[in-house]
Amino acid sequence: MNRVRNSVFALLTTLFVLVAPAAAMAADGVGTAGRVDDRYITFFCFGVIAFFAILVTVLSLIQGRLDAKKDQRRHDLDRFNS
């Protein structure tokens, strides 16, 4: 019985922690950025898409350079050891 009560208490506490801040921050639909319209949201989402596209591209370029250095080192070690 104690285990069930503790599980229910933990579940209710978790739900309260997740739900209470959302209700506290809801001030008639005005968030921390003020009133937002569709244009603001659209540009923000385009920014998120662009950020991840640029992030993937930059990280791929970095990985390519590191792989090239690794291959060059392996080639040099094989050449000097042979």
CA distances (Å), 32 to each of 1, 27, 35, 40, 82, in order?
Answer: 44, 10, 9, 14, 66
Q: Which residues contact 40 (CB under 8 A, 6 or more apart)?
A: 33
Quick check: 63 pLDDT over 80? yes
User: ∠36-39-41 over CA atoms, to 5°?
Assistant: 60
Quick check: 9 pLDDT over 70? yes
For the residues 48-72, what does the mean pLDDT come to?
A: 97
| pLDDT in the model for residue 67 | 97
Question: What percentage of the chain reaches a pLDDT higher than 70?
Answer: 88
Confidence (pTM): 0.57
For the residues 25-52, what does the mean pLDDT come to?
A: 85
